[in-house]
A and B are shown apart, each in its own frame.
Chain A
């Protein structure tokens, strides 16, 4: 396809299992829609061509319609549409309905909190071994525009905003969720492959909307722990250790 060979297609394959299923649904709809599109446009073109090339003296057909045709093109699309709707339900439930979240996330609880603000993402991790509380704790660790998550397991986190509405959009993961003032929204995703993934804002939040770029770093759990340890070390830095580089 021209589009995909030029990179005018998805930003890479979906990097989360749920994203893969979203892509499959997309391709299913794309298939159906392409057939309908080609069919109807062709039909339209055909009837116009026939109608425009009628010979002189030939008059238009006199018909007010056809009851059976109406029934066909009501029932068939209805069937297809209901099928599409029902077929999508479970992916949606798994993405958003908390009781359908992967069991792992229910056990782990939220691992960190992402707070959107104009115009950056602030991340708060609980102290190692502690659960995340909704209110900040003295020993919490803070980071900006960089989220470290372990690979290969579903990770749940809390999403909130400091000011106006934002949306957490990770295109490669096919995850999007608005951050609404006054709400704490649990979101989860799973990344099987280590790497860096884009995070940006998808809900208009002011003039700097386009600036809200961050990365999600997926890496093995021990690397995440190392990162958190580094973060803690830096955060507790009191300037006395001579050798410690100033970042």
Chain B
């Protein structure tokens, strides 16, 4: 059956003889090297879901070592590691480096901007496709060389070594090829991979900005855009301005490694008995450049999820978003402040201590817009009529976990406290609450919410609820204790923390966390299974299964080539749930394309509603 994919079904629906003039687009052009934003979006989504499994497997290997240090690792141990399936220390450094790299660069950034950005932007603003469809296609196909580079970096360093400098790749560990196992070829391939991911993001973000500015449907003013679009727009701006810095830094690092420059390498350093280095560079320069990108990148990894959750919450509560403009302003504030807080990653790095105070103040300030958003989400649910399905649960999980992640951030924003918490598990807890607890729950909600639009079918809600419940329990069981580990002073990236007597008693807690992590990992098969099953066998549905307002819901499910059978015109904002206007036509929602309803009708229904 050809009903799997969006393009065909809608066309065969739309006009019976539509097949003929699409025959010229071959299979490959339609599904593989497609320029259709929906196909690209779905390609991104499926790829990132696969990468999520890879990153998850790496995480479980890390957790294995922390719970059962030096014991023979099941399954993976046979393939990669040294004697008897033991995780050797350099293999461990590779595991957490690649876990972070895969999760950040191949899962979270592409799933938000790549998958949902692509799929939703034209649909929600009423455009027939992206401004630059071919760039869009290239942006996806840049991911594959990037993934290939990352894959090569697993093996290029030797049997048990891969990139071992952490995802932050601090020099000199990353700058000197002898500094660690895997600092050689593996690190080079990793940097190439990073650069290619950067190209992909850059092509995407230029495309998104152009599309959002130029291709909105008639009537779709900036302040009628859904918050998803706002978040994508702001994210694209962040990418466009921050990413070149990282790319430049990456090139500098590659030059240091391969061309004998010394941007980051001071003189007289001896590693692994190699010749002393010559040069007058400074490793701190990398940290500044890296975090100048990577702090905004934290918001790149969060804002789109915030936007999508805002959309979904409003719909699932049948209530307009609370404080639309404050939401937009706070997102813009996050983006703006995001550029001047990078130093809070470097409080203990030895940079000028006066900067510590500056960055502490700006960091405290960036907590503010996040607080505003949280209050607004609660305000949105407040007084709403909640549809208590898995989608809503994931959104609520998002808000709840974001509160934890946001509040734990305050500890480390405070410099003196950060002296103690820097590079401990408290940090690990914090960013997992933000990146997994918030972003991924947001993504889970978004997958299920827009699934009908992608495939014309619904995902199974019961399975999805189980998935949510198990993930939520497993997630908190894994990551909440990390706060306690951090307070107990357990440093990050330790293959065997129990060598230190004051950490010995933490072993049972780590074992508990690992069991929780396995639970969480297993739960993801429910999502994958549900997704795969529903693509083919899910319950069929119409254009607007959630009674939502956005422009995308006025298009067929799945939308055909060119998206809209009727060119959309936008008459109102996206969140007019339960408005008098909606009630006047007997619904609790009103599509953005719905022409204005007569004032008299509204008045009539008003009096009826008053009793």
| A→B interface (CB under 8 Å) | 3, 6-12, 19, 21-22, 25-26, 29-30, 32-33, 36-37, 40-41, 43-44, 47-48, 50-52, 54, 58-66, 69-70, 73-74, 77-78, 81-82, 84-85, 88-89, 91-93, 95-97, 118, 162-165, 167, 169, 171-172, 174-183, 185, 198, 200-211, 213
- A70 contacts which chain B residues (CB < 8 A)? 323, 326, 372, 376
Contact A163 B269 (CB under 8 A): yes
Contact A93 B353 (CB under 8 A): yes
A17 to B528 CA separation, bound complex (whole angstroms): 53
Contact B326 A51 (CB under 8 A): no
Partner of B488, one of A8, A21, A65: A8
Contact B317 A7 (CB under 8 A): no
Q: Does B525 contact A (CB under 8 A)?
A: no
Contact B271 A164 (CB under 8 A): yes
Q: How far apart are A11's CB and chain B's nearest CB, in angstroms?
A: 4
- B171 contacts which chain A residues (CB < 8 A)? 164-165
Closest B residue, CB atoms, query A211:
B499
How many residue pairs bridge A and B at CB < 8 Å? Answer: 303
| B→A interface (CB under 8 Å) | 88-90, 92-93, 164-166, 170-173, 176, 179-181, 265-267, 269-271, 281-284, 317-324, 326, 348-350, 353-354, 356-357, 360-361, 364-365, 367-368, 371-372, 374-376, 378-379, 381-386, 388, 396, 399-400, 403-404, 407-408, 410-411, 413-417, 419-420, 422-424, 481, 484-485, 487-489, 491-497, 499-502, 505-506, 509, 575, 577-580, 583, 588
Contact A169 B364 (CB under 8 A): no
A82 to B496 CA separation, bound complex (whole angstroms): 39
Closest B residue, CB atoms, query A53:
B386
- B579 contacts which chain A residues (CB < 8 A)? 62
Q: How far apart are B152's CB and chain A's nearest CB, in angstroms?
A: 21
Contact B269 A181 (CB under 8 A): yes
Partner of B500, one of A7, A30, A164, A198: A198
A85 to B367 CA separation, bound complex (whole angstroms): 12
Q: Given known contacts A51-B384, A97-B353, is B488 in contact with A206 (CB within 8 Å)?
A: no
Contact A185 B383 (CB under 8 A): no
Q: Given known contacts A51-B317, A81-B365, A202-B491, is B271 in contact with A37 (CB within 8 Å)?
A: no
Q: How far apart are B227's CB and chain A's nearest CB, in angstroms?
A: 13
- A47 contacts which chain B residues (CB < 8 A)? 378, 381-384
A6 to B173 CA separation, bound complex (whole angstroms): 37
19 contacts between A and B (CB under 8 A): A11-B488, A11-B502, A30-B411, A47-B383, A51-B317, A51-B386, A62-B319, A65-B326, A69-B379, A74-B368, A92-B357, A164-B172, A165-B283, A167-B422, A174-B419, A178-B349, A178-B350, A202-B492, A207-B93
Contact A33 B411 (CB under 8 A): yes
Contact B318 A60 (CB under 8 A): yes
Q: How far apart are B396's CB and chain A's nearest CB, in angstroms?
A: 6
Q: How far apart are B394's CB and chain A's nearest CB, in angstroms?
A: 13
Q: Which of B181, B367, B577 neighbours the largest number of chain A CB atoms within 10 Å of its CB?
A: B367
- B382 contacts which chain A residues (CB < 8 A)? 47, 50-51
Partner of A204, one of B400, B403, B493: B493
